[in-house]
């Protein structure tokens, strides 16, 4: 969790997110903001949701 306070973390554990929501009495959507400044990844989210079978 220290990475959250010291900068931008590369990942976030769901257990940590759940603990923060419980401590702050809020929902996940209250803490997360979609990052729209990056260009879309080739294949987009639709390709990721089709379960490539690997």
**Per-position pLDDT tens, the chain of length 54:** 666 677 777 788 899 889 999 999 999 999 888 777 766 677 655 545 555 544
pTM comes to 0.50
Handedness of CA 7, 13, 16, 18 (dihedral sign): positive
Question: Is the CB of residue 29 less than 8 Å from the CB of residue 18?
Answer: no
Cβ neighbour number for residue 21 with a 10 Å cutoff: 15
Task: Provide the token pair at 3.
Answer: 């990475």
Of 19, 43, 21, 48, whose CA–CA distance to 32 is shortest? 21
What is the DSSP code (8-state) at residue 36?
A: -
């Amino acid at each position: 969790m220290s990475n959250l306070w010291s900068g931008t973390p590369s990942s976030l554990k769901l257990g940590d997110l759940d603990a923060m929501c419980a401590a702050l009495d809020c929902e996940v959507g209250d803490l997360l903001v979609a990052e729209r400044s990056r260009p879309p990844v080739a294949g987009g989210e639709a390709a990721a949701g089709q379960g490539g079978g690997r």
